[in-house]
A and B are shown apart, each in its own frame.
Chain A
Amino acid sequence: MHTMEDLERKLDNLVKEPENFSLFNQVGVLLYKVKDWKNAELYFQRDYELNPADENTIYNYALLLHQQGQFHKASKLYQAYLEIDPLDKEVREKAGDCYYLLGEYEQAVRMYEKLQKE
């Protein structure tokens, strides 16, 4: 109930500030919480378009896509994230898993290799 109220308030704010990428991200997170994956994806996508260099934005969007079976797109985003933060082990592992799901074993090996070295 609390989440829904929060969501409505943030959507109202978004009408007033349509370029506020942070609001898009927050709405995406709330939609993710209520398992509205399709709309969460739209808001994360918009957030990413407005703010493509933000770690949180990329992480949330990639995670959702990975979970939704969009492994190709998710892997690209994990790569983008790792360019910003190459030492993030969790994302490196997720990227490796994503490449496995895509059948790109060489890329998966590369991810896990680095993970092991770290």
Chain B
Amino acid sequence: MVKKKLLSLCLITENDAKYLSNCLENMQEYVDEIIIVDRASRDLTSEIAQKFGANVYQKGWENDYSKAKNFCLNQAQGRWALFLQANEIISTQQLKELRQLLENPNVEGYLLYIDNFSQNYRITSPVQSLRLIRNRKEFQYKYKAFERIPDELLSNIKDSGIRIVQQPDLESSGDFDQLSLLLEKDLKKNPEDSYLQYMYGIELLNQQRFEESIKYLEKARQNVNFDYLFAPHLYKCLSWALISLERHENALDVLDEGIKNFPLYTDFLVLRGELKKQLKEYGEAIGDLEKGLKLRGKSNTMVPEPEINITVILETLGDIHEEVFNYHRALIYYQQAYELNKGNPQILYKIGNVVKKVNNTEILANLLQQSIEESNLQQLIVIMDILFQQREYHKVLAHLDNLESLLGKGEQTESIKASCYMMLGELKKAELSFSSILKESPFYNHMLLQRMEGYWIHGKWQKVRQVLKEMDEALSIENNIKALYHFLHQLLTEEEPQYRDLKDQEYEIVSTLMESFLWLGKVDKARLLIPLLQRGNEDKYINLGVLWAEQNDYQIIERIFGQISTKEKQLEFKQKVLEQFLGKEQIETAQKVISLGDKQPLGPLEYVVWSQGFIKKLKESLEEINQTMAPQTPAKPSKSLVAFYQFFALDKNAMNESSLELTTLELTCSKIHSEIGDFYRKAKKNQEAFSAFLRALQWQPLDNLAQEKIKEMFQENPNQFSKFLEEKNWFLEGSWFQHKQEFIDYILGVIDFRNQQFEKALASFHKIGKDETSYPLALAYIISSLWLTGKESEAERWLKEQSGPFEIVSKFFSICKGYALDRLNVGHQQFPYSELIRVEKERMG
């Protein structure tokens, strides 16, 4: 008995002599036979194939790929058939894995990834990835081009995880035209075929004919069966075409439908996240991307697998967090992305940028050390470049030996050395390094200009004139650059030149020069360059604004802002500049920036600026009053109350997942009642819950959380709780309130105060008489209400009139701080992703 062959390698060839040996050499050990259907090659394709023992069939080309492939399948004797092109190979390791896949009795076909390193990226369908199939009679290809075994015949298709490496075939560009023609013919014959509509849509998409592409993809979408292998990819292509035409609403509809029908195809979430990012809906963008990330992290059973890899998701998340000033989160995502894709220097630059913002030098130091230990030249160069850009010249010089050991000592390292010394003002050392760079060197011109900049920033005007002459003699420096340097020299030597517009390259030169002046603290010289930079592209104004925000120069900020023409750019400018001012605690300037131009929603920043301004003003008021705040010791609970609380805390069902059991040391009467209130509220025992929160306030009348709960419950059921309070069937605890009516007035005042109905609140607090024990509380609220309604001098007068009872000042501060925290909580609800608001809350809390 002859053992049946397991795997047949199938190829359709035509003049493939150039690649075929490589392919067959790679494959022959791992396949049981090679079937080649040759389309009348005129080169040595056939001879090469025979040399490798292939069964070669000469077949006249009938402009039909399906016919050729079906012929191939009919000749193949293996239980499995693997289709490759002559310019494709698979790694040896993966070929071993491929053989193992053939043992799985439940699978009918496998998808293989195709890596093409051609510069002309083309979208391909996952249908073209179905290269490994069980050799069944009924598996027959359809269509002249982009051949496909109908999905109705296929079941149990799996993802192999195996990658085919495709050599870019420079001679094959004509093939695509031929394929398109064949596809058009098929489509003419079968105009309602969703697969052909989809493939034609992809071809149009590859030609960037988006409108026409959408027409075909949309038709395919209406005809497609969701079980088809290409269905999710069809949705993705359609959404992509719509995004390219900025038809965002339509794209979102397609993506929503895609997410609903193919929940594991995470590309939809990523695209929607990206789109939401563009629309500045950051919370939703983060939500989609994080969900996508989570799904990709699980073992994915989706076939075809999503194409957008985890690195891209991580990097996009980093980008969004950086955009909304969540630098710590951004850093985490960039680091994760870089770990997975160390070949991408862009991520490393992003890490460098964020590291500077959070002032965490350790990360770069570790990466630098790692590059040295692993002799990773590419990473070392990027990190040295980041350090150079961040003006860490001493660090660059300190690690130059390491760079030299990998790169070799030469003009490149000498030019770095010369630049560092020049910036550090060590001009002799800089000249020494510069002297080793020959005039013919590619580094010479660059260094010449660097020298000039170095002399400018260090005020060596004589030297500049000398270098200007050298520059004029250098033939390879473009005339516009020479003119720019002459112009800058005039400008910096306080002549009054005629200002001129700058091209991109020129703008970069001037901008870097200005930064250098600022870095050395020569603000006047830097200021001279501003009119020049204000004539550049508006897109660059943001960076310019950020640089001057670092100098806390509002006048320049105002000037730059005045030249920004679009509302969108004005908003972006304001946000970036504000963040800079906040980082430097320049709150008054930040407030001025907010009022520049039209009022615009500034997102989380608006809350943080408001909160910092509010607290600053509050503290200033208190400084004038010159009273210190007295700390208070909260009352400790009785044993029986603690025991009662523990029944709830131990009952896991009743416990809120986010609630933490209090430790014995943390227990106070107020906290216990507040927690009990939470348990009761969760159990929907509202009367008990309301009583518990009231009791928390009897012990700690300014407890912000208990106050908020009371306010919420009262809002949900005003009649029930008004009646409850008025009937006075509850009882009083603690020492703050002696009479039920004063407590009712206090609670009603607090509810109105928290609802910002200050007039009503004042009326309630005024009912509490001077002889009541809770009068200091009422008074603190009265003063706070006055202060918050802009009657600050009246409030301050009241405060000054209080002789001795420092507790009023402390209570006033606590009430106002609570008010600010509430407002930040509103901001947190609106922008739950914002690190800025979270940090501000922590700072205040």
Q: Tell whether A and B belong to one assembly.
A: yes
A contact residues vs B (CB 8 Å cutoff)? 67, 69-71, 97, 100-103, 105-106, 108-109, 112-113, 116
> Is B688 engaged at the interface, CB distance under 8 Å to the other chain?
yes
Q: Do B729 and A70 touch across chains, with their CB atoms under 8 A apart?
A: yes
B724 CB-CB contact with A under 8 Å: yes
- Say yes or no: B733 contacts A103, CB within 8 Å: yes
> Closest 8 A-B residue pairs measured CB to CB?
A69-B729, A105-B640, A112-B647, A106-B640, A109-B643, A105-B641, A109-B644, A105-B644
Contacts of A105 in B (CB 8 A): 638, 640-641, 643-644
A102 and B687 CA atoms in complex are apart in Å by 12
Q: Which residues of A contact B647 (CB under 8 A)?
A: 109, 112-113, 116
Asked if residues A101 and B691 are in contact (CB atoms below 8 Å), the reply is yes
Q: Complex formed: what's the CA distance from A53 to B731 in Å? A: 30
Which residue on B lies nearest to A98, using beta carbons?
B688
Would you list which residues of chain B between 640 and 657 have a CB under 8 Å from chain A? 640-641, 643-644, 647
Provided the pairs A112-B647, A116-B647 are in contact, do residues A101 and B688 lie with their beta carbons within 8 angstroms?
yes
Would A100 and B688 be within 8 Å (CB), given that A69-B724, A109-B647, A112-B647 are in contact?
yes
Question: What are 21 A-B pairs with beta-carbon distances under 8 A?
Answer: A67-B687, A69-B724, A69-B727, A69-B729, A69-B730, A70-B729, A71-B729, A97-B685, A97-B688, A100-B676, A100-B688, A100-B691, A101-B730, A103-B695, A103-B733, A105-B641, A105-B644, A109-B643, A112-B644, A112-B647, A113-B647
Contacts of A116 in B (CB 8 A): 647
Task: Describe B's contact surface by its main secondary structure.
Answer: helix
Q: How far is the CB of A44 from chain B (nearest CB, A)?
A: 18
| Complex contacts, B692 vs chain A, CB 8 Å | 100
* Shortest distance from the beta carbon of A95 to any chain B beta carbon, whole Å: 12
Query: For residue A103, which residues in chain B have a CB less than 8 angstroms away from its CB?
Result: 695, 731, 733
Cα-based distance from A17 to B641 in the complex (angstroms):
49
CB contacts under 8 Å to A, within B709-740, are: 724, 727, 729-731, 733
For B676, the chain A residues whose CB sits under 8 A away are: 100
Count how many chain B residues have C-beta atoms less than 8 Å from C-beta atoms of the other chain: 20
Provide the bound-state CA to CA distance between A71 and B688, in Å: 11
The A interface is mostly helix, strand or loop, or mixed, namely: helix
Beyond contacts A105-B640, A105-B643: 19 other A-B pairs, Cβ-Cβ < 8 A, are A69-B687, A69-B730, A70-B729, A71-B729, A97-B688, A100-B644, A100-B676, A100-B688, A100-B692, A101-B688, A101-B691, A101-B730, A103-B695, A103-B731, A105-B641, A108-B640, A109-B643, A112-B647, A113-B647
* Interchain pairs with CB closer than 8 A, number: 40
Q: How far is the CA of A103 from the CA of B680 in the complex (A)?
A: 15
Q: Are B644 and A101 in contact (CB-based, < 8 A)?
A: no
CB distance from A17 to the nearest CB of B (A): 34
Q: A70 — which chain B residues lie within 8 A by C-beta?
A: 729
Question: Which residues of chain B from 783 to 805 have a CB within 8 Å of any chain A CB?
Answer: none
A63 to chain B, nearest CB (A): 12
Interface centre among A67, A70, A103 (most CB of B within 10 A): A103
Task: Give every chain A residue within 8 A of B687 (Cβ-Cβ).
Answer: 67, 69, 101
Q: What residues of chain B lie closer than 8 Å to A108, measured between beta carbons?
A: 640, 644
Contacts of B638 in A (CB 8 A): 105
Q: Cα distance A91–B695 when bound, in Å?
A: 24
Q: What residues of B have a CB within 8 angstroms of the CB of A101 in the complex?
A: 687-688, 691, 730
Q: How far is the CA of A3 from the CA of B362 in the complex (A)?
A: 76
Closest Cβ neighbor of A97 among chain B residues: B688
Closest to B733 in A: A103
Bound: A9/B688 CA distance, A? 37
Closest to A66 in B: B687
CB nearest neighbor in A for B731: A103
Give Cα A24–Cα B729 distance, bound, in whole angstroms: 26
* Minimal beta-carbon separation of A92 from chain B (angstroms): 12
> B640 contacts which chain A residues (CB < 8 A)?
105-106, 108-109
Residues of A with C-beta under 8 A to B644: 100, 105, 108-109, 112
Of all chain A residues, the one with the shortest Cβ separation from B645 is: A105
Chain B residues with Cβ under 8 A from A106's Cβ?
Answer: 640
